[in-house]
Amino acid sequence: MSLKKKGAPHVKYYIGTAFHKACELNALYPYSDPVELIDDWLDSEKRDIDTTYKKQIGTFMSDDEFKLLDESGELVKSLVSRYFHKYGQDNPIKPFKYVAPEVSFKIPLLQDRPVYLVGTIDGVGIDEHGALGVVEHKTFSPGRAKKAEDFEHDPQTMGYEYALWRLTGVMPTWAMYDGVAKAIPVAPKVLRNGKLSVDKSITTTYKIYMDAILANGEDPADPRFGSVLETLAFQDQVESANPFFTRYHVSIKRRAMETFENNLLAQARDMWQARENPERRYPHRPWQGCGDCDYRDVCDAIQYQEDVDDVVYSGYTVGTYGTLESLKDLTPQTVTDVETLKSAIAARRSNA
């Protein structure tokens, strides 16, 4: 279980969660329309959000809130449509292939202590030689895709790699970053003089810009469009220049995994000591601040020696998250190699 902030539920779809779901559904049903699959899922989520809202707030969502929800849904469907148009439905993670999408795990870290590494790997895959690897689906704000050198050392990704190693006994050899921007391509503006804008900072595609030229009755051969069209053609053809999609893979180094394991076990021992000795707990504030943390007031209470239990009781409720939800109704199955993992996943899928 986890702490969850009290108050009105989120009235937007979580874009990253929806994109993960679209990739999972495509891997399970590769011959079905991915937009139709995610549309059905969005409808189900919408009903759940509305029910949760009424339960927590005591009234129905407003028209403005429904509009906000629907707008975020349109962004999701646009993102999913463009992703599978670019990469295809049959095997969108080429040159790799899925072993399975969304593999949840719970790995014991300390002997005789209930401390676990818990998570869900976005995708487990194999390369053309049968070597294992992990697929990380990521959504990012325009211009904020993760660089390869940062992805290689990302603790979340390394946690997935480590989990796969311990689940199968086989060291994975690669990790793939599969990034999609949370943005919809826009058409260029028509200026007051009736001409189409040639502002190259626009977030768009070659096709959309070309269609806009023709729709405005202008000639694509006009020299003033030359630089813009050249730039857009380049970004469509070169992955590293594309503002909407970023994809690459990195090699996994055994020594890095061994160091990660040593650090992880040290952290697990510290967590257990803090559980047994509450006086040893202390706030950990990163130097860049805590702007994206929902639990700042708990750390503040510790810092100023206030009543932490009262802060938790008055401001939080017991919540959950995706991995716990996927595990709660399942009987754990121990796997020790790749074939056992494949068999376990296949059995679960057939019984779903």
Q: Is residue 335 scored above 80 in pLDDT? A: no
Length of the chain: 352
pLDDT of residue 325: 63
Residue 322: which pLDDT band, with cuts at 50, 70 and 90?
Answer: low
Question: What pLDDT band is residue 202 in, cutting at 50, 70 and 90?
Answer: confident
Comparing C-alpha atoms, which of 326, 315, 283, 325 is closest to residue 4? 315
Assign 156 a pLDDT band (cuts: 50, 70, 90). very high
* Calpha distance 87→134 (Å, rounded): 18
101: helix, coil or strand? Answer: strand
- Domain ranges for the chain: 2-87, 97-181+246-281+320-351, 184-242
The residues, any chain, with a CB within 8 Å of residue 34's CB and separated by 6 or more, are 22, 25, 26, 80, 81, 84, 89
Q: Kindly report, residue by residue over 128-144, the tens digit of the pLDDT.
A: 999 999 999 999 988 88
Contact 163, 151 (CB under 8 A): no
Question: CA–CA separation, 46 vs 73, rounded Å?
Answer: 9
For 257-284, the pLDDT digits (tens) are 999 999 999 999 999 998 899 887 777 7
- Residue that has been written with the tokens 């904020």 in this structure: 144
Average of per-residue pLDDT across 327-342: 71
88 against 334, higher pLDDT: 88
pLDDT of residue 1: 53
Q: State the average pLDDT for the chain.
A: 88
State the pLDDT at residue 304: 87
Instruction: Assign 328 a pLDDT band (cuts: 50, 70, 90).
Output: low
Instruction: Report d(CA 175, CA 124) in Å as an integer.
Output: 9
Three-state DSSP class for residue 332: coil
pLDDT at 330: 60
CB-based burial of residue 350 (10 Å sphere; 0-12 exposed, 13-18 middle, 19+ buried)? Answer: exposed
Phi/psi zone of residue 174: left (φ > 0), alpha (ψ -120 to 50 degrees), beta? beta
Condensed to tens digits (0 to 9), the pLDDT of residues 24-59 reads: 999 999 999 999 999 999 999 999 888 888 888 888
pLDDT per position as a tens digit, 72-121: 999 999 999 999 999 999 999 999 999 999 998 889 999 889 999 999 99
